[in-house]
Structure 1
Amino acid sequence: MEREATGSSQQTKVLNNEYNVYAKIVLAANDSDLSDYELHQDKDHSDYGQVMTHNTNTRVGDNIKARFKTAWDNYRTTRALLSWAP
């Protein structure tokens, strides 16, 4: 999903995940990385459900996307609620 940046940092959150999920922000035009991957722990860890902040140095109006991934062996079985803001 693509949207316009509202500032220089973005946030991601993952819930209901049985496995670790990683998230980063990329520029929509060419998929270049604006942040590194941040780890969203699975629900068995104390950091589960934590909101992660990505410092992207974007300007208001830049078109950006969030990218989420998990380990290759969990790809077909990971179910999660993914969100990003602001």
Structure 2
Amino acid sequence: MMRRMAPEPTLRAALRVLYVASYTTRNWTLHEEVSRRQVNDLWEAIHEIPDLLCRWHDGAERELLMYLDEYNHKWPSPHLRGIYEQALEDSAI
């Protein structure tokens, strides 16, 4: 069985989320105010994204949004779902 990749707009939007999470985490290492719990929650939300993009299936976007929303229910920033949706919107232009 051949595995499907996510559609290009979804790939671009998810990569934007990963990019923001990466530089945000890097910047957090410079400040004592950010808890290790928040860093862990962020990476808990995004660590499945690369694998999910490579095994895209019906319901995969719902799964992706669930990961993003789980983080956003705990922390106000970065707003992962907003980043994803903005990147999708930008790719439609």
TM-score w.r.t. structure 1 length?
0.30
- Which structure has the larger Rg over C-alpha atoms? 2
TM-score w.r.t. structure 2 length?
0.29
Larger helix fraction of residues: 2
